[in-house]
Amino acid sequence: MIEYRIEEAIARYREYYEFKPARESAGIEDVRSAIEHTNLKPFATPDDIKKLCLEARENRFYGVCVNPCYVKLAREELEGTGVKVVTVVGFPLGANETRTKVHETVFAVESGADEIDMVINVGMLKAKEWEYVYEDIRSVVESVKGKVVKVIIETCYLDTEEKIAACVISKLAGAHFVKTSTGFGTGGATAEDVHLMKWIVGNEMGVKASGGIRTFEDAVKMIVYGADRIGTSSGVKIVQEGEERYGG
Protein backbone atom coordinates (compact mmCIF):
# COMPACT_ATOMS: atom_id res chain seq x y z
CA MET A 1 0.00 0.00 0.00
CA ILE A 2 2.84 2.42 0.83
CA GLU A 3 4.64 1.70 -2.42
CA TYR A 4 1.43 2.21 -4.38
CA ARG A 5 0.77 5.57 -2.73
CA ILE A 6 4.33 6.71 -3.48
CA GLU A 7 4.09 5.64 -7.11
CA GLU A 8 0.72 7.37 -7.37
CA ALA A 9 2.18 10.62 -5.99
CA ILE A 10 5.16 10.47 -8.34
CA ALA A 11 2.87 9.91 -11.34
CA ARG A 12 0.69 12.84 -10.28
CA TYR A 13 3.79 15.01 -9.87
CA ARG A 14 5.03 14.14 -13.37
CA GLU A 15 1.70 14.98 -14.94
CA TYR A 16 0.44 17.96 -12.97
CA TYR A 17 3.16 19.62 -10.90
CA GLU A 18 3.83 23.30 -11.54
CA PHE A 19 6.19 25.47 -9.54
CA LYS A 20 4.40 28.69 -8.66
CA PRO A 21 3.79 30.76 -5.50
CA ALA A 22 1.20 29.43 -3.08
CA ARG A 23 0.22 32.99 -2.09
CA GLU A 24 0.94 36.52 -3.25
CA SER A 25 2.83 37.89 -0.29
CA ALA A 26 3.60 37.69 3.43
CA GLY A 27 3.92 40.50 5.96
CA ILE A 28 5.90 41.01 9.13
CA GLU A 29 3.23 39.44 11.35
CA ASP A 30 3.04 36.39 9.08
CA VAL A 31 6.78 35.95 9.47
CA ARG A 32 6.83 36.68 13.20
CA SER A 33 4.10 34.16 14.01
CA ALA A 34 5.76 31.45 11.91
CA ILE A 35 9.21 31.62 13.49
CA GLU A 36 10.53 28.85 15.71
CA HIS A 37 13.50 30.67 17.24
CA THR A 38 16.27 28.08 17.21
CA ASN A 39 19.48 27.27 19.03
CA LEU A 40 20.64 23.71 18.42
CA LYS A 41 24.35 24.44 18.62
CA PRO A 42 26.31 21.74 20.46
CA PHE A 43 27.99 24.41 22.57
CA ALA A 44 24.81 26.27 23.58
CA THR A 45 24.82 27.07 27.30
CA PRO A 46 21.89 27.49 29.72
CA ASP A 47 22.38 31.26 29.49
CA ASP A 48 22.12 31.04 25.70
CA ILE A 49 18.80 29.23 26.02
CA LYS A 50 17.49 31.78 28.52
CA LYS A 51 18.38 34.53 26.04
CA LEU A 52 16.66 32.59 23.24
CA CYS A 53 13.48 32.32 25.30
CA LEU A 54 13.56 36.01 26.24
CA GLU A 55 13.92 36.98 22.58
CA ALA A 56 11.04 34.69 21.63
CA ARG A 57 8.80 36.30 24.26
CA GLU A 58 9.76 39.84 23.30
CA ASN A 59 9.27 39.24 19.58
CA ARG A 60 6.11 37.13 19.92
CA PHE A 61 7.54 34.21 17.98
CA TYR A 62 5.61 30.98 17.60
CA GLY A 63 8.12 28.98 19.60
CA VAL A 64 11.69 28.07 20.43
CA CYS A 65 13.52 24.98 19.21
CA VAL A 66 16.15 23.60 21.58
CA ASN A 67 18.13 20.46 22.18
CA PRO A 68 16.50 17.87 24.47
CA CYS A 69 18.64 18.67 27.52
CA TYR A 70 17.19 22.20 27.53
CA VAL A 71 13.49 21.38 27.21
CA LYS A 72 12.83 21.67 30.94
CA LEU A 73 14.68 24.99 31.17
CA ALA A 74 12.83 26.40 28.16
CA ARG A 75 9.52 25.26 29.63
CA GLU A 76 10.29 27.08 32.87
CA GLU A 77 11.35 30.25 31.03
CA LEU A 78 8.25 30.26 28.81
CA GLU A 79 5.55 29.06 31.21
CA GLY A 80 2.37 31.05 30.71
CA THR A 81 3.65 33.00 27.70
CA GLY A 82 2.03 30.96 24.92
CA VAL A 83 5.41 30.46 23.24
CA LYS A 84 5.80 26.78 22.32
CA VAL A 85 8.73 24.56 23.25
CA VAL A 86 9.98 22.46 20.35
CA THR A 87 12.76 19.89 20.54
CA VAL A 88 14.52 17.41 18.28
CA VAL A 89 14.62 13.62 18.24
CA GLY A 90 17.14 11.39 16.49
CA PHE A 91 19.07 14.55 15.77
CA PRO A 92 20.90 15.28 13.55
CA LEU A 93 21.43 12.00 11.66
CA GLY A 94 18.14 10.13 12.11
CA ALA A 95 20.00 6.84 12.35
CA ASN A 96 18.98 5.91 15.90
CA GLU A 97 16.92 2.78 16.43
CA THR A 98 13.19 3.43 16.53
CA ARG A 99 12.90 2.50 20.21
CA THR A 100 15.57 5.10 21.00
CA LYS A 101 13.60 7.77 19.14
CA VAL A 102 10.43 6.75 20.97
CA HIS A 103 12.17 6.95 24.35
CA GLU A 104 13.63 10.36 23.48
CA THR A 105 10.19 11.57 22.43
CA VAL A 106 8.36 10.40 25.53
CA PHE A 107 11.02 11.88 27.81
CA ALA A 108 10.95 15.18 25.92
CA VAL A 109 7.19 15.50 26.31
CA GLU A 110 7.41 14.60 30.00
CA SER A 111 10.00 17.38 30.34
CA GLY A 112 7.64 19.92 28.79
CA ALA A 113 8.02 19.79 25.00
CA ASP A 114 4.98 20.86 22.99
CA GLU A 115 6.26 19.68 19.61
CA ILE A 116 8.76 17.13 18.33
CA ASP A 117 10.99 17.48 15.25
CA MET A 118 12.22 13.97 14.45
CA VAL A 119 14.82 13.14 11.81
CA ILE A 120 13.81 10.55 9.24
CA ASN A 121 16.10 7.56 8.74
CA VAL A 122 17.70 8.87 5.56
CA GLY A 123 19.61 5.69 4.74
CA MET A 124 16.53 3.50 5.01
CA LEU A 125 14.57 5.95 2.88
CA LYS A 126 17.21 5.92 0.16
CA ALA A 127 17.24 2.11 0.30
CA LYS A 128 13.46 2.18 -0.30
CA GLU A 129 12.79 0.40 2.97
CA TRP A 130 9.37 2.02 3.05
CA GLU A 131 7.90 -0.09 5.85
CA TYR A 132 10.84 0.63 8.12
CA VAL A 133 10.58 4.37 7.55
CA TYR A 134 6.81 4.27 8.06
CA GLU A 135 7.07 2.36 11.35
CA ASP A 136 9.87 4.62 12.57
CA ILE A 137 7.68 7.70 12.14
CA ARG A 138 4.43 6.06 13.22
CA SER A 139 6.02 4.80 16.44
CA VAL A 140 7.07 8.32 17.42
CA VAL A 141 3.67 9.77 16.53
CA GLU A 142 1.83 7.06 18.47
CA SER A 143 4.06 7.49 21.53
CA VAL A 144 2.80 11.02 22.14
CA LYS A 145 -0.69 11.26 20.70
CA GLY A 146 -1.94 14.81 20.81
CA LYS A 147 1.50 16.37 20.36
CA VAL A 148 2.66 17.79 17.05
CA VAL A 149 5.32 15.71 15.30
CA LYS A 150 7.38 17.11 12.43
CA VAL A 151 9.49 14.86 10.22
CA ILE A 152 12.82 16.29 9.08
CA ILE A 153 13.43 14.72 5.69
CA GLU A 154 16.87 16.33 5.09
CA THR A 155 16.21 17.36 1.49
CA CYS A 156 19.87 17.99 0.65
CA TYR A 157 20.48 14.22 0.52
CA LEU A 158 17.39 13.31 -1.52
CA ASP A 159 16.39 13.38 -5.16
CA THR A 160 12.91 14.51 -6.18
CA GLU A 161 11.30 11.07 -6.00
CA GLU A 162 12.83 10.45 -2.58
CA LYS A 163 11.47 13.78 -1.33
CA ILE A 164 8.04 12.77 -2.58
CA ALA A 165 8.34 9.36 -0.90
CA ALA A 166 9.39 10.94 2.39
CA CYS A 167 6.37 13.26 2.34
CA VAL A 168 3.92 10.49 1.43
CA ILE A 169 5.22 8.17 4.15
CA SER A 170 5.19 10.94 6.76
CA LYS A 171 1.57 11.69 5.93
CA LEU A 172 0.55 8.03 6.03
CA ALA A 173 2.31 7.62 9.40
CA GLY A 174 0.25 10.40 10.96
CA ALA A 175 2.88 13.13 11.26
CA HIS A 176 1.66 16.72 11.34
CA PHE A 177 4.48 18.46 9.44
CA VAL A 178 7.36 17.73 7.14
CA LYS A 179 10.50 19.80 7.59
CA THR A 180 13.24 20.49 5.08
CA SER A 181 16.49 20.25 7.01
CA THR A 182 18.39 19.79 10.25
CA GLY A 183 20.76 22.65 9.44
CA PHE A 184 23.64 20.21 9.88
CA GLY A 185 23.52 18.72 6.38
CA THR A 186 25.07 19.92 3.14
CA GLY A 187 22.21 22.30 2.37
CA GLY A 188 19.18 24.01 3.84
CA ALA A 189 15.71 25.09 2.80
CA THR A 190 14.91 26.14 -0.76
CA ALA A 191 11.68 27.55 -2.12
CA GLU A 192 11.60 24.69 -4.63
CA ASP A 193 11.72 22.03 -1.90
CA VAL A 194 9.18 23.83 0.28
CA HIS A 195 6.76 24.14 -2.63
CA LEU A 196 7.14 20.49 -3.65
CA MET A 197 6.64 19.30 -0.08
CA LYS A 198 3.50 21.39 0.37
CA TRP A 199 2.17 20.25 -2.99
CA ILE A 200 2.57 16.61 -1.94
CA VAL A 201 1.17 16.81 1.61
CA GLY A 202 -1.58 19.33 0.89
CA ASN A 203 -3.46 21.32 3.48
CA GLU A 204 -3.74 18.32 5.82
CA MET A 205 -0.12 18.81 6.90
CA GLY A 206 2.20 21.73 7.49
CA VAL A 207 5.65 22.41 6.07
CA LYS A 208 8.52 23.79 8.14
CA ALA A 209 11.34 25.47 6.24
CA SER A 210 14.61 25.30 8.12
CA GLY A 211 18.28 25.74 7.34
CA GLY A 212 19.95 28.86 5.97
CA ILE A 213 17.03 31.26 6.46
CA ARG A 214 18.78 34.44 7.59
CA THR A 215 16.96 37.44 6.10
CA PHE A 216 13.43 38.81 6.04
CA GLU A 217 13.29 38.21 2.30
CA ASP A 218 14.34 34.58 2.82
CA ALA A 219 11.51 34.07 5.30
CA VAL A 220 8.91 35.78 3.12
CA LYS A 221 9.94 33.68 0.14
CA MET A 222 9.53 30.45 2.11
CA ILE A 223 6.05 31.44 3.26
CA VAL A 224 5.00 32.57 -0.20
CA TYR A 225 6.00 29.17 -1.58
CA GLY A 226 4.16 27.18 1.05
CA ALA A 227 5.95 27.16 4.41
CA ASP A 228 3.77 27.27 7.52
CA ARG A 229 6.71 27.53 9.94
CA ILE A 230 10.20 28.94 9.77
CA GLY A 231 13.04 27.40 11.75
CA THR A 232 15.86 29.90 12.15
CA SER A 233 18.49 31.12 14.58
CA SER A 234 18.20 34.58 12.98
CA GLY A 235 14.66 35.35 14.10
CA VAL A 236 15.42 38.65 15.84
CA LYS A 237 17.47 39.93 12.90
CA ILE A 238 14.76 38.84 10.45
CA VAL A 239 11.98 40.69 12.24
CA GLN A 240 14.09 43.79 12.85
CA GLU A 241 14.98 43.88 9.17
CA GLY A 242 11.31 43.61 8.22
CA GLU A 243 10.33 46.41 10.58
CA GLU A 244 13.08 48.69 9.33
CA ARG A 245 12.16 48.16 5.71
CA TYR A 246 8.40 47.99 5.87
CA GLY A 247 7.37 49.38 9.25
CA GLY A 248 6.33 47.47 12.38
Residue of 150, 208, 218, 221 marked active site? 208
Residue of 84, 101, 114, 117 marked active site? 117
Annotation marks residue 114 as catalytic: no
Render 105-122 in DSSP notation, one character per residue.
Answer: HHHHHHHT-SEEEEEP-H
Annotation marks residue 159 as catalytic: no
Distance CA 219, CA 209 (A): 9
Answer whether 35's CB lies under 8 Å from 235's CB.
Answer: yes
Annotation marks residue 208 as catalytic: yes
Fill in the DSSP letter of residue 223: H
C-alpha atoms less than 13 angstroms from C-alpha of 67 in its C-beta half-sphere = 13
Q: What HEC string does 67-107 produce?
A: CHHHHHHHHHHHCCCCCEEEEEECCCCCCCCHHHHHHHHHH
C-alpha dist (Å) from residue 225 to 64, 132, 140 = 23, 31, 28
Residue of 150, 171, 179, 198 marked active site? 179
The closest alpha carbon to 26, from 217, 231, 236, 205, belongs to: 217
Torsion of CA 128, 134, 137, 141, to 10 degrees: 170
Which residue intervals of the chain are DSSP H helices?
2-16, 28-34, 46-59, 71-78, 98-111, 122-126, 130-143, 160-172, 191-201, 216-224, 235-246
Secondary element (H or E) of residue 37: strand 35-39
Catalytic residues: 117, 179, 208
